[in-house]
Structures are given as C-alpha cells and as structure tokens.
Amino acid sequence: MKRDTLNFLLLGPLSVRLNACEVHVSAPRQRVVMAALLLNANRVISVDRIAEYVWDGAPPPSAAATVRTYVMRLRQALGEHASARILTRAPGYLLELDEHESDLGQFTAHRRRAAELAERGDLEGSSTELAEALALWREEPLADIPSRTLRDVEGRYLQELRLQTMELRFDTELALLRHAELVPELWRLVRKYPLREALVGKLMLALFRSGRQSEALDLYQRTRVLLVEQLGAEPSADLCEVQQHILSAHDRPRAAITAVARPQAPRAVATATAAWSGPGRPSPAQLPSVPPLLPAHTGPLARLERSLSASAQSAGAVATAVVTGRGGVGKSALALHAAHALRDRSVHGQLYANLGGGSRPLSCRTVLLRFLADLGVPRGEIPTEESERESLYRSLTSGRRLLVVLDNAQCAAQIRPLIPGSGGSRLLVTSRRRLADLEGAHTLLLSPLDEAGALELLGSIVGPAVVRAEPQAARAVLRICAGLPLAIRIAGTRLLERPHWSIGDFARRLTQAPRLLDELRTGDLGIRPSLDADHDGLRPTASTGVDPAEVFTVLGATETGYTSSGRVAMLLGCSEAKAEEGLDALVEAHLLHPPRAGRYRLDALLQAYASERAQAAGMEWRGHPLVRAV
C-alpha cells in the first residue's frame, strides 16, 4: 500500500498538501497557529507564544483556552493523517515532521550538506546544494499570515536566513571564479539592500575581476556616503579591506572572500572585549529601587545572600539562586534587596530583566539583544541568530564578575541562555515555579507572612495604634489577605484612602462582597492580575492530559474551601489518580494549598477567584448535578 505523503510549505504562501492535493486551512487565526507550529517544527511552542502571534502581542485573558480551541479546529481542518502530527506537549504543542516533509526542513538540509561539502573542499557540490536550497523559496514567507508580530519576528528571521544563504553561494561562486555571471544578480540585491556591506563587498570583487575596477571603486564611495548619511558610520574594516585590494590592483581572491564573508560574532566579541578592558568600559547598573525590607524577611534575605556567596566560591561556577513562591508574596522585593547587598561584589555591573512570567514571557532573543548592547556590543554587530547571540553573551561574560537578575521567570528553558559564562558571576532568579530542573541552583521558597508579621505590616501602613484598637477585626482582614504582603498593602492603602472606615467596617465589606477581589484593588495594584498570571500558566499535564484549569473551575463551582481527589474525580468523571494529578498541578501553580490529611484547601482569595472562573464558565458547571449534591 502506498504511503501518504505530506508536504508543509512555508517559504512563500502557507500551504499544506497531502498526496499533492491542497489541504485547505482558510480561517485566518488557524493559519497563524499553523505557521507558528511550522516555524517550530519538532520543538514545543508554548500556548503563550502562540497567543502572542495570534493577538499581535495583546492576548485577552481567555487566550489560553481560545488557542486550544483554534488548535482543535486546525486539527479538524487538516484531516486525520495530517492532524496526527500536532501533539499536545506541556506547555503547548509540537508539530512532528520529518525533514523532507516541509520546505523549511529541506532548506535546512541543503544548507547542512553544502557546509559539509565545502569543508571537504567540494565547492562545486556545495554551490549546487545552496542553489537547490534557494530554489525552494517561492515568494515572501508569511506575507499571507494575518499576524504582524509573526511577520516582524519570524518573517525577518527567514529573510535574513535567505540572504545569508545567498551570500554563502556568492562566496562559493567567487571562489570558483564565476564572477562575471554573478554581477547582474548582485547588482539587483545591492539596489534592494544598499547598506548590506557583505553584498556590496562581493559585488565590488565581482566587478573588479570582470575588469570593471572604476565601477567597483565608485560603488564603494556611494556606499560610504550612504552609511555616513543614514547611519553615521564609516564602512566596516572588511569592506575597507576589499577597497584596498582593488586600489592596489593586487587581487587575492580567497583571502578577500574570507575577509568579507567572515561571521560578525568574532568581531563583536573583539569590539566588546576591547570596551571592557578600556578606561571607559561599560558597567551596567540596572537594578530597580526597592521598598523597605519587611522585618519578617530579614531571615530569608540572609539565607539568600549566604547561598549566593557560598556557591560563588566554586571555581568556574556561576552562583545561582532561585526565589520561588506565590504571586504577591514578595519574591521580587526580596531578590532586589539581595542584589543591592551584593552590588559592590559585582565589579563589572548588574544586568536586570523582567521576563514577564507565564502570561507574556519575554523571549531570550530579545533579552540577549539588550544585554549584549548593554555590555558594549554595537547593535549593528549583534548576530541575528539566537544561538550566535548566546555564544557571544557567554564569551563576553566569561571570567567577569557580573550580577544578573532575572525577575518573573516562567521556566528553566527561559533562563539557561542567559546564564553568564563561567567564573565569578552571580545569577539571581525569581519565579512562581520551583524550577527544579535548573541545574546547580539554590532554591529559596518564600512563604506568606505569619500572623505577627502580617499585623506588623498592616500597622506600618495604617498605624500601630489603629491595629491595636481593633485586633480581632484586623485579624479577620489579614486572614482574608492570606499573609500576602501585596494583599495587605492594598488593604492598608484602602483604609488610608477612607479614614471614615474602621477596620471592622472593612472586614465586613470583605466578607460580604459579592466579588471579593474587587475590594482588594487600588490604583494599579490588585490581586486579580497576579492570580490571572498563575491561571494563564496552567497547561494539561504531560502524563495524563488532565487540564488543571478545568479542575480549578470545578473547585470554584463547589463553593467550599476544602476538597479531596475523590470528590474532584466524582465531579469530573475521571479516575482519582487523574484528579490528584490535576490538584497537584494547582498546588505547583500556587492556586491550591497542599493537602493535609487528604484534604486540599483554597484560602479566601483563591476561593473568590475560583468562583469567578466558575461563573465565567456559565451553565456548564453551575448547573452540574454533582456540584449541587456536593
């Protein structure tokens, strides 16, 4: 029986073909999802990243659930054979493809074979492979995909990949002395990209070897004027070297080609290294200011400083510490206090980035671009490939004494490319997740405040005498705040804003409010956004596929603060093992307290938020007969 053949085309208008017949994917947002999966073939792409592409960087609160719906519809549109390639893998999806099943995969394979042949000295074969790679391009990729973010980020990446491949082929053809044939094509590209010095240099060589020396030198002068006028920069050393070869009428083909085609990363390392060693070396000092340290956090702060100082003694190691805990518990403030305390030991500066957490994570590519610029690399010399940026970053930071603070990290994979090179540096991370898979890290779990610490914080805001006058009411408010400094600060601020309220008045408002979280909001501070971030990060579990978000909705529908795996299994109609896996995922996300005697607990804030989620789900859960029975 003949095997079905699949072909996914991305290097032009998006197309999926089964046995040479078009499979229609016409819905605009499904096409965005399809393109995102193809660009990350055989790699997991998170639901959050897909949402960034679908909604152009501004996903709605319901984005995660809506993306899952789009993937379901995309699978239906692709049909049984093609849809089986889209696998659910935490924290998102994976498109499983063989290399020959997509034009981008074939393109990559041709480039790889070209490099192998060039390494063996077979320039003819290498040129053929590069030509076949370029022949796969039909039109501008992603032009038919309705996502500005996807086109800006991935479209530019693909165009850069194509240009680099063209430049490799030109180098090979020049080495084979086919300069005359290249001139028309190079002229066309230089007119399109007049500031791309690598192309200009190759055209100058091709013109010179074709007996057109004056045209080559005239091209150099025109390019120099453009660079000065538009970028305020002189031509690169590589382009100047080509000009000098031509002026001296001493053509050294292979040396000149090597000079022009040389990758930028080594030059960037040299430039930045020189800047580091000079008297005006860049010393970034990016740490944000912090509020006063909570007295209850003096102990955790001392432990955090000790862990970073002790691990820094290991030769060649980067001292790494992770502060983890629930949203609003004070992780960022504690980490920044530790960072300021260690600032004097970080003689080469401090780098800081807020990675955005699970709702809107910042890409490593973007952070590396900023860090490299902060470390003295001219932006024009920062590599476009993420792997090259990582290599350059490690080279620049190796042997330095830097402090890198990564706030609000989502996962270990987001952190690894940002770990400094070996020796002397410190890395401090905050995350709601434990990040147990981050190698060599010391983990500090920051717990909510106990009653004494919470009373002290509230008293520091509204005044100790006010708290002493109504101790029972104060304790009632603080029980609802669940020991979270963020919630306590909001409560204290609301009392200050309304001096005619007693603490008892506010306690009654909190206990009677139909939407508790609306009461715990002031200015741009609120509890709901913090809980939204935790909820948006929920993903189906890898082993059984149980959806923790669905479990959380059930907990909200039951309107009780306690539950068990048996009760949830009954409500969901699943095994108790599956229910327990979903509940444990909620514990990991800080949306549920760990079980005691087999009973899981929602505090007042979590119960209020779960109830909102259940109400948003509508009759699907509110009218559930088992919910009423419970």
Question: Does a structural domain hold residue 281?
Answer: no
CATH of the domain at 50: 1.10.10.10
Residue 618 is predicted with a pLDDT of 64
* 371 and 257 within one domain: no
* 151 and 94 within one domain: yes
Residue 43 is predicted with a pLDDT of 85
CATH of the domain at 258: 1.25.40.10
pLDDT in tens, 249-284: 644 444 333 333 333 444 444 444 444 444 445 578
* 191 and 132 within one domain: no
Residue 583 is predicted with a pLDDT of 92
Token readout for 280 is: 């005006």
* HSE-up (13 A, CA, CB side) for residue 49: 23
* 224 and 159 within one domain: no
Question: Does a structural domain hold residue 267?
Answer: no
* 202 and 62 within one domain: no
* 161 and 200 within one domain: no
Total residue count of the chain as it appears in this document: 630
pLDDT in tens, 14-44: 998 888 788 888 889 999 999 999 988 888 8
Residue 423 is predicted with a pLDDT of 64
Task: Identify the CA nearest to 45 among candidates 75, 83, 87.
Answer: 87
Sheet architecture: strand order including 350-354: 350-354, 403-409, 426-431, 319-324, 442-445
Residue 503 is predicted with a pLDDT of 93
Residue 4 is predicted with a pLDDT of 67
Amino acid at 566: G
Number of domains in the chain: 5
Token readout for 616 is: 């948003």
C-alpha gyration radius of the chain: 30
Q: Which of 173, 208, 224 is the last residue of a domain?
A: 173
Q: Supply the range of the domain harboring residue 153.
A: 1-173
Q: Which of 133, 158, 173 is the last residue of a domain?
A: 173
* 516 and 459 within one domain: yes
As a whole number, the mean pLDDT across the chain is 84
Quote the CA–CA distance of 26 and 73 in Å, as a whole number: 11
Q: Are 569 and 575 in contact (CB under 8 A)?
A: yes
Task: Identify the CA nearest to 604 among candidates 462, 476, 417.
Answer: 476
**CB-based contacts of 537: which residues, under 8 Å, 6+ apart?**
48, 91, 357, 358, 359, 410, 432, 589
CATH of the domain at 405: 3.40.50.300
pLDDT in tens, 394-445: 878 877 788 999 999 988 889 999 999 866 789 999 999 888 888 888 999 9
Long-range contacts of 351-355 (CB under 8 A, 24+ apart): 351/284, 351/286, 351/402, 351/403, 351/404, 351/405, 352/286, 352/287, 352/288, 352/404, 352/405, 352/407, 353/405, 353/406, 353/407, 353/418, 354/407, 354/408, 355/406, 355/407, 355/408, 355/409, 355/410, 355/414
Q: Which of 499, 526, 553 is the last residue of a domain?
A: 526
Quote the CA–CA distance of 363 and 365 in Å, as a whole number: 5
Residue 483 is predicted with a pLDDT of 93
Quote the CA–CA distance of 585 and 369 in Å, as a whole number: 34
User: Three-state SS for 174?
Assistant: helix
* 214 and 134 within one domain: no
* 539 and 518 within one domain: no
Question: Does a structural domain hold residue 287?
Answer: no
* 29 and 164 within one domain: yes
User: Three-state SS for 464?
Assistant: helix
Longest Cα separation, the chain: 96
Quote the CA–CA distance of 371 and 377 in Å, as a whole number: 9
Q: Pairing relation of β-strands 86-89 and 44-46?
A: unpaired
* 414 and 308 within one domain: yes
* 299 and 412 within one domain: yes
pLDDT beneath 70, residues of the chain: 1-4, 249-282, 310-317, 358-359, 422-423, 559, 618-630
| CB-count burial class (<10 Å; 0-12, 13-18, 19+) for 596 | exposed
φ, ψ for residue 399 (rounded to 5)? 80, 0
Predicted TM-score (pTM) of the model is: 0.57
Residue 374 is predicted with a pLDDT of 87
180 to 55, 190, 211, 424, 588: CA distances (angstroms): 48, 16, 9, 54, 65
